[in-house]
Each structure stands twice: as structure tokens, then as C-alpha cells.
Structure 1
Amino acid sequence: MIYAGPSSQFPIYDGEMVRAGGRASVVVTEGGRRLAMEHLFQRPTAPKEIHVWITSVTGADRDLAERIGQSIDAR
């Protein structure tokens, strides 16, 4: 899921907050692996916030969703 607008509801997941690459990310450990569940980009111009998060998918779809989330770049 992606939200682009003035005020997101970040964070929606509990986990470790990591700041890198111009974004804040929430990282959790699942099955011995670290997964970035959501990302928040904050910008000086509209849209002020871009919030990306993984919804309730499992297995290979979850892995794909995380890779897609990691690939987002606010330009």
C-alpha cells in the first residue's frame, strides 16, 4: 500500500525504527529474518509524506511486497 499526502498514520507497525536513505523504516524480525514492514519519506513540498507499508500477505507474496517497498524512491 502507498499513501501520498499531507499527514500519514506512520508508524502502523511496532518494530525497530531505522533511518537511512532519506526515509524512516520500521523493521521487524519474522522467522529469523529482518523485514522492513513500512517506510516514510518526508518532503518539503507536496506530497509532504509518502508512506509505504506491507499489508497482510504471506509466503512468496510477502517477500515480493517487501522488495517492492524497498524499491520505492521519492523523487
Structure 2
Amino acid sequence: MPIYEYRCQDCQGSFERLISFSERGRSQVCPSCESLRTSVQVSSFAAVGAASESRSLPMAPQAGGGCCGGACGCGH
């Protein structure tokens, strides 16, 4: 499920919700003032490089462990 950003029209606060696409248009309860006068916001993200570039580059070895750098003790 995607994360959607909302803005409260009463307190001007913003918050995120993990909900299904079909539920995104419904008003969500503001966690700050409990208002239902909320609206979904347009989110943006950044990507660097072309998709084909990332597939052709070899994975760099990670020092100290795999997924977390060895800090969690998972053994990778």
C-alpha cells in the first residue's frame, strides 16, 4: 500500500497515512485536531540517473555487513 500525505484545513497540519489507493480520496482524521476537513496532497520524489544505468552498474561490496552494515548483528 502507498503512503499518502494529507493536509488539515483547520489546523494547517500535515500528516501521512498508509492506505489503499481506493481509500485515498476519503477524508482522514487529523492526528492533531481530529478534524475531518483534510485533503490529499501531491507528493514528489527525486530519482538520479536513468533506469538502464542502475542495472548495468555492479553492486559495491559493503564493509562490515550486508543489509545494515553489520550494526544489527544479523550476520550479513
TM-score, length-normalised on structure 1?
0.22
Query: Which structure's relative contact order is higher, taking Cα pairs within 8 Å and 6+ residues apart?
Result: 1
The structure where helix makes up a greater share of residues is 1
TM-score, length-normalised on structure 2?
0.22
